[in-house]
Structure 1
Amino acid sequence: MPAAVRGGSRAKARPSPKTAPKAARQAPAARRAPVTEHRGLSPRLALTGAVAVLALALGVTLATGHRGQRLASAIGSGVDGRFGAAGFRLKTIEVQGASPMATADIVRAAGVYKNQPLLGLNLTTLRKNVEQVGWVKEARVVRLLPDTLVISVAEHRQLAVWQHDGRQFVIDDHGQVIKEADPARFARLPLVVGEGAASHAPEILPVIAQRPRLIGQMDALVRVDDRRWDIRMKDGSLIQLPADGVDGALMQLERLDQRSRILELGFDRIDLRNPDVVSVRPRAVQALQSQTLAAPAGARL
């Protein structure tokens, strides 16, 4: 048996504020920066000029064929610059729906920076980059002119800590590893151990969670030969579950506990692999042989 060792909300990430117009200091786009006065073109003049440039680009593209693609790209950069001069530059990033632990990873994946032209951002590419973050289930990205980018995400629910080959990982409710999550910060999550434990954990953990007395004393779920589970209790005792019919086996355990308070008295091992026979090995030193409680098939214990 492998050894086991235990290790949403709205958040804002904004660029750092400028201290004074004469001594502007660059800061990450994840902190807020106040909108400062611009001495360039007014937004109205910039917009009018940009429309004129776009019309010219379209005409040149139609007249020059493929050469116009390169020219249009260069003109597009000029349009971004005009809008940037008018104040449409990134000052604030708002991350919505992410936990504090996930926010930094999301901002890093977005790859944007302070004073970047806001209208030049490719929102589709940005959204795909954010959705590559292990925390993120899905994302939505919106521009709020003149200077704010909003990233709204839905996070995967953290289900358990998975231990395998001497390493630990946080897994979500689909059994997928959240690569950015630090297992040491999720000590309250159930521990599942062994090969195949991650992919099968979403099946058994909801069943165990329906039994507060059991899960309150459970230390880990150990996957055996990628076929079935053993429940290792905090006091070192073991409950062996069958490969099939886990819910029925746990109902047998509940009836046994109601009758004899076995979970409180302690035991060395309870074998539930046979649906017709529940075998209990007491922990007492004087009990040298296993006690066997036998019942006909389908009978209530």
Structure 2
Amino acid sequence: MPAALRGGPQSKAKPRPKAASSPRKSRGGAKAQPGYAPAKLGAARGVGLSPAYALGAAGAVLVLTLAVALATGDRAERLGAGTESAIGRQFAAMGFKLRAVHVQGASPAATRDILAAAGVYRDQPLLGLDLEGLRQRVEAVGWVKDARVVRLLPDTLVIAVTERRQLAVWQHEGRSFVIDERGEVIPEAQAMDFADLPLVVGEGANRNAAAILPRVAARPRLLARVEALVRVDDRRWDLRLKDGSLVQLPAVDEEAALIQLEQLDQRSRILELGFERIDLRDPTMVAVRPRDHGQPGQMVADGA
């Protein structure tokens, strides 16, 4: 007789369900690796990308996003400047540093001011130079019309300039200035250093000098005797000669008046003999006042 168990009849154990077979069996019976791939990496693997490559691409996207985030306000400029400065220092350690500066197209006086404005120094990292900023500083110098700045590796900087042509010394309100062909003052130029330039005097003389000076210069006998060209009422010119004589030119057609003076000098050598004043303001008549005679305003009809 079977033995009775305490607690009632023995219950039958339920069979354990079988594990569902994997739809994808590894080839060759290889066991699956522990862990799992993230969804994005799994998707990348589905299109033929390795997880390492996909992870690297994701990192690059993060770096690009960070760079865009930094590019607000002037952060991008500061980041670029800092990077350029760091690169310049690295190359300077390799020998790419400033050892020579060549200024081309400038006079000695202008060269001194150009170098001072450039603000470069020996052993400065050559690749770290802001060439555009340097060019702007050089062109701000009064001597300079335009400039070009070039790096010659490994250690040379070339500053090529077009210098403003010094046309004349302009005397106005008790002060003297050197002016260029447009009548603009060259601030750095000292008038005392340009005694060989013609002297123009008076209001508006600077603006009109470029028109009258070539006409006078075309007559060497007259030019050699001229001490100053004086602008009268900003309308016309008087020529003051070195011997104290005065030639009064008209407000219009100065060339015709100078031709009259030239013809008179050819006939009577009047520039050599001297006179007090020659009035050429009337195109139909030349009035000559001799220096030694007491009758002023002696008339010479038609320049005869």
Q: TM-score, normalised by structure 1?
A: 0.76
Give the Å deviation of 1:94: 0.5
Corresponding position of 1:132: 140
Corresponding position of 1:281: 289
Aligned ranges for residues 215-294 of structure 1 at < 5 Å?
215-284=223-292, 286-294=293-301
The answer to whether the Cα contact below 8 Å between 1:57 and 1:71 also exists between their aligned partners in 2 is: no
Identity within the alignment, %: 61
Q: Which of the numbers 157, 169, 172 marks the counterpart of 1:164?
A: 172
Q: Give the Cα separation in 2 of the matches to 1:117 and 1:57.
A: 31
Give the Å deviation of 1:66: 3.3
The answer to whether the Cα contact below 8 Å between 2:89 and 2:128 also exists between their aligned partners in 1 is: no
Q: Which of the numbers 190, 196, 201 marks the counterpart of 1:193?
A: 201
Corresponding position of 2:188: 180
Q: Which runs of 5+ in 2 are unaligned?
A: 1-58
Q: Give the Cα separation in 2 of the matches to 1:244 and 1:108.
A: 45
Corresponding position of 1:76: 84
What is the root-mean-square deviation in Å for CA atoms of aligned residues? 2.0
Give the Å deviation of 1:134: 1.4
Q: Cα gap change, 1:200/1:277 in structure 2, threshold over 3 Å: closer, same or farther?
A: same
Give the Å deviation of 1:71: 4.3
Q: Give the Cα separation in 2 of the matches to 1:180 and 1:58.
A: 55
The structure having more radius of gyration, on CA atoms, is: 2
SS in 2 for 1:141: strand
Q: Which one-letter code corresponds to 1:155 in the other structure?
A: E
Q: Cα gap change, 1:85/1:100 in structure 2, threshold over 3 Å: closer, same or farther?
A: same
| 1:100 maps to 2:103 | no
Q: Give the Cα separation in 2 of the matches to 1:89 and 1:59.
A: 36
Count matched residues: 241
Q: Give the Cα separation in 2 of the matches to 1:290 and 1:58.
A: 94
Q: Which one-letter code corresponds to 2:109 in the other structure?
A: M
Q: Cα gap change, 1:130/1:165 in structure 2, threshold over 3 Å: closer, same or farther?
A: same
The answer to whether the Cα contact below 8 Å between 2:201 and 2:228 also exists between their aligned partners in 1 is: yes
SS in 2 for 1:66: helix
Q: Which one-letter code corresponds to 1:179 in the other structure?
A: P
Q: Give the Cα separation in 2 of the matches to 1:291 and 1:247.
A: 23
The answer to whether the Cα contact below 8 Å between 2:285 and 2:300 also exists between their aligned partners in 1 is: yes
Most deviating of 187-196 and 106-115: 106-115
Q: Give the Cα separation in 1 of the matches to 2:284 and 2:230.
A: 23
Q: Which one-letter code corresponds to 1:66 in the other structure?
A: A
Q: Identify which of structures 1 and 2 has the higher relative contact order when contacts are C-alpha pairs closer than 8 Å and 6+ apart.
A: 1
Q: Which one-letter code corresponds to 2:131 in the other structure?
A: L
Aligned ranges for residues 49-60 of structure 1 at < 5 Å?
60=63
Q: Which runs of 5+ in 1 are unaligned?
A: 1-55
Q: Which of the numbers 207, 211, 218 marks the counterpart of 2:219?
A: 211
Corresponding position of 1:65: 68
Corresponding position of 1:28: none
